Amino acid sequence: MNISVSQNGPISIIKLDGVLDGQTYQDLIVKAQELYNAGTRDFVLDLSDLTYISSAGLVAFHSVALLARGELLPDIDSGWSAYRALGRSSEAGIQKHVKLLNPRVDVMSVLDMVGFGQLFEIFTNLDDALKSFE
């Protein structure tokens, strides 16, 4: 998977290209941590070129959301307990600091299946996603 980052003012746009799975999910978490440590608090995850997402990828999305809220990340080495922590995200409501952009149909079906379509605002237009932070 390739990860590229662009900035729009204080908002970081992270573009994911390829497969987000057990081999690559930590790359997304590390990149988000770097950006957060550099001052980013709002993220757009551009999924237009993401071809596949596994449960590990869902853990990465959850981790980015926790990070953006200033919360501690789950221990990613703890496996299923980190995955089960995803359910607790719904208690925090819709994510205000992480937006998803242009997921492909097959990726969107996975997001809907686990309820992420209700936890993350999903946009088809970058300008709309950026304006949603205002």
Q: What span, in angstroms and rounded, lies between the C-alpha atoms of 19 and 16?
A: 8
- What integer pLDDT is reported at residue 118 of this predicted model? 86
- What integer pLDDT is reported at residue 21 of this predicted model? 96
- What integer pLDDT is reported at residue 15 of this predicted model? 98
Please, what are the averages of pLDDT over each run of 10 residues along the chain (134 residues)? 97 98 95 96 98 94 91 62 50 82 97 90 97 94
Q: What span, in angstroms and rounded, lies between the C-alpha atoms of 94 and 35?
A: 21
Q: Which of 50, 54, 76 is nearest to 63 (CA)?
A: 76
Q: What span, in angstroms and rounded, lies between the C-alpha atoms of 113 and 123?
A: 18
Say if residue 127 is exposed, middle or buried (CB neighbours under 10 Å; 0-12, 13-18, 19+).
exposed
Going from the N-terminus, what domains does the chain have, and what CATH number goes with each?
A: 2-131 (3.30.750.24)
